[in-house]
Every structure is written in structure tokens, then in C-alpha cells.
Structure 1
Amino acid sequence: MRVFAVLLVGFAVEVTALVAAYGAWGLLPTLGLLLLGGVVGSVLLRREGARAVAAFSEAVRTRRAPHQEVADGVLIAAAAFLIILPGFVSDVVGLVLLFPPARRVLSRRIARRAEERERAMVLNVRYGQHPMAGGVVVDGDVVEVRPESSSDRPELT
């Protein structure tokens, strides 16, 4: 539900920005800025993507875990998606994601949040709460109970 709300708000912001740009500059300058953002974004995307692949290859070659390189690759892919979408706000966010300092800050925040979630799940499991069920896990045995047949019951007279 959160993702849908974020997408809906993002769409409303993009449409508002496009209408405001059209009202301020007209149709041709607005389209020109959208195309310019796409071209600049694709050039930066190609450059940063090549850097990320080279850094990943170097990390693998030197046999160290490529955590930061993988995070950079995912954020660069997100930036590419945002730049491809038509709109000024998504272009700006995508361009910001293409700059290495912004990616580093964001990837650290994502890693820290993932560690906190993992720690919370481990504690929940350790103290008897199942993370998926949201309740307490009770260990027990299954006992079969067979109904009595009429021949096993004593007859009442």
C-alpha cells in the first residue's frame, strides 16, 4: 500500500511540475528541457555504469566482497529508470543518484536499515515470535484422537 501511495504522490508531483513548466515557458522549451535531461542523464549513466562495472570487476579480482559496488549498481539502475521516466522531478532525483557521494550516503542508510531489520527479526525469532505469523510459536506434538465406535461403548439399560 505504501508503494502505491508513493507512486501516486510522485505522479501528482510530476504532472504538477510539467504543468507549471508549460505555463511558465511554453511547450517547446518544456519539451527541450525534458529531452536535454534525458540526454545528459544517459551520458552520465553510461559513464557511471562503466565505472561501477570496473569497480565490481576489480573487487572480484582482488577477492574482496563487492558490497559497495553492488549497491552502486542497483542505485545506478534506479537512476536509469528515473531518468527514462518523463518528468523534471524524476530526472533531478535520477541525476542526483548518478553522483557517487549521493550514492554512498544512500547506500549506507539502506545498509544500516537492513541491519536493523535483520537484528529485529533475529531477536523476534530468538524470543519465540515468528516474523511472518506475527505471533508466538508454540512447540508441541500432534496426538491423534479416534472417535469411539458404538461397539466399544457400554450399553445403558
Structure 2
Amino acid sequence: MRYILLPLILIPAIEIVVLLLAGKALGVAVTFLLIILTGVFGVYIAKRQGIEVMKKVQMETRRGEMPGDSMLDGVCIFIAGIFLVLPGFISDFIGILLLIPFIRNKLKIILYHFLRRRINHGNIKVIKW
């Protein structure tokens, strides 16, 4: 929790500053249009990639495989979608980065090790069905 509070305060403040600067440099209408276009385009791409990941998870599950890697892809794409819906250029940039497979694969390694550490220390419980 302590690691979440500071970004929750800083990121919106930085977004506001960037939006104000963009509005001053590009004009309010262009800035507004860019925010709308990046959001719509990003959500479209996130939706397409999300559907592909869902199909991959279903296929792996049918074959009896554990879809761990695909599930991490899904988590990253979901987070990307959230960032893309938020108004602002920084959040859009982060969302778009998460949709790029090469970058997402690097993030998945970090996420995997983070989750593995949490599970090993008992902070996350895995329930077997």
C-alpha cells in the first residue's frame, strides 16, 4: 500500500502539467482530439490483443496446459487498457508500451518474479481446485 500512494498523487499531477503544456503549445482543441484519438485507438488495439489472449488461454486449457504466460499477457493488456482510458499523454504512452509484445515480454519477466516472491513468502496463497 505504501508504494501505491505516492504514484496515485504524483501521476495525475504530472498528467495535468503535461496536458496544460500541450494545450498551450498545440491548442485546446488539438490536445483534446489527441487524447480522444489515442484513447480510442489504444482501446481498440487492447481489445484485439485481449481477444487473442483469451483464445490462447482457452486453447492451452483445452490441451491441459497451464496458461501462465498467457494469463500474464492478459494482465498486462488489461492494465494497458486501463492506462489508455485514463486521460493524459503519459498514461497513454505507458498503455501503448504495454501493448508492444517485446516490451510486454520484458515486463512479464519482472511481474513473474514479483508474484513468485510473494507466493514463496506466503503473501499470496494459491488455491488448488
Normalising by structure 1, we get a TM-score of 0.72
1:7-52 Cα shifts (integer Å, max 9, x gaps): 1111111011101101101111101100110111121012101111
What's 2:70 paired with? 69
Structure 2 stretches lacking a partner, 5+ long = 124-129
* 2:45 aligned residue: 44
TM, length-normalised to structure 2: 0.87
1:25 matches 2:11: no
- Structure with the bigger percentage of helix: 2
Match of 1:96 in 2: 97
Task: Name the aligned partner's letter for residue 82 of structure 2.
Answer: F
Larger relative CO (CA 8 A, sep 6+): 1 or 2? 2
Secondary structure at the aligned position of 1:64 is classed as coil
CA deviation profile, 1:53-87 (whole Å, cap 9, x unmatched): 11111111111110011111111111111111111
| Matching residue's letter, 1:55 | K
Cα distance in 1 for residues equivalent to 2:59 and 2:103: 22
Q: In structure 1, the residue corresponding to 2:48 is in which secondary structure? A: helix
Choose 1 or 2 for highest CA Rg.
1
- 1:79: which partner in 2? 80
Separation of aligned partners in 1, 2:114 and 2:83: 23
- 1:34 aligns to what SS in structure 2? helix
Letter in 1 for 2:105: R
Which AA in structure 2 matches 1:48? Answer: Q
Percent identity (aligned): 29
Matched letter for residue 18 of structure 2: A
- In 2, the alpha carbon distance for the partners of 1:42 and 1:113 equals 27
**Structure 1 spans left out of the alignment, 5+ residues:** 123-130, 132-157
Aligned pair in 2 of structure 1 residues 50, 117: CA closer, same or farther (>3 Å)?
Answer: closer
Distance in structure 2 (CA, Å) of the matches to 1:42 and 1:107:
20
